[in-house]
Amino acid sequence: MDGERRVGVAVDFSSCSRKALKWAIDNIIRKGDFLILITVRPDGDYEDGEMQLWRTTGSPLIPMVEFADPHTLKKYGIKPDAETIDIVTTAAAQKEITVLLKIYWGDAREKICEAIDHIPISCLVIGNRGLGKIKRAILGSVSNYVVNNGACPVTVVKKIDNEN
């Protein structure tokens, strides 16, 4: 992957992350790029054995053919929705890109920033859930944290209030 653009998209398989993914494909991705989907599972959401090895570094980069296979992802505890799989499969074919998945365990804010540094990511697209002021104050905003602490350009795709 040396010398190639690596466009990261933070995904949690929600409508908000699908919107960010579509935006990245329509506006940033170009032929030959690597599209790296970054997902973060809650800390401790892994089984004994193999996944414990990846707790600090995240999973290996998983090729699209593997993360489109439900049996393969069961061992990672990931359940991507059919729409997200369809979006990346179509983009891979039409834009001639390589799609990879990287899974982390822990705090989404910190792990997404780690992914930017360790993969490394050329730029990152992240969705914004549109939390109200009170929820954002209590829960914290992942997108706000990544914008302020990430070591690459970060684009936040906002959720419009009337969307699902």
pLDDT in tens, 26-51: 999 999 999 999 999 887 645 555 55
Number of structural domains the chain divides into = 1
Residue 1 placed within a domain: no
**Angle between helix 108-118 and helix 142-149 axes, rounded to 10 deg:** 40
Tell me which residue range forms the domain holding 78. 6-158
Residue 112 placed within a domain: yes
According to the model, what pLDDT value does residue 152 have? 97
Residue 163 placed within a domain: no
Is the model's pLDDT at 11 over the cut of 50? yes
According to the model, what pLDDT value does residue 161 have? 56
Is the model's pLDDT at 137 over the cut of 90? no
Which of the two residues, 16 and 51, has the higher pLDDT score? 16
Residue 10 placed within a domain: yes
What is the CATH classification number for the domain harbouring 70? 3.40.50.620
pLDDT in tens, 85-127: 999 999 999 999 999 999 998 899 999 999 999 999 999 999 9
Residue 44 placed within a domain: yes
Q: Within its chain, how far is the Cα of 11 from the centroid?
A: 4
Burial 131-152 (b: 16+ CB within 10 A, else e): beeeeeeeeebbbebbbeebeb
User: Whole-prediction pTM value?
Assistant: 0.86
Contacts for 45 with CB less than 8 Å, ≥ 6 apart: 77, 105
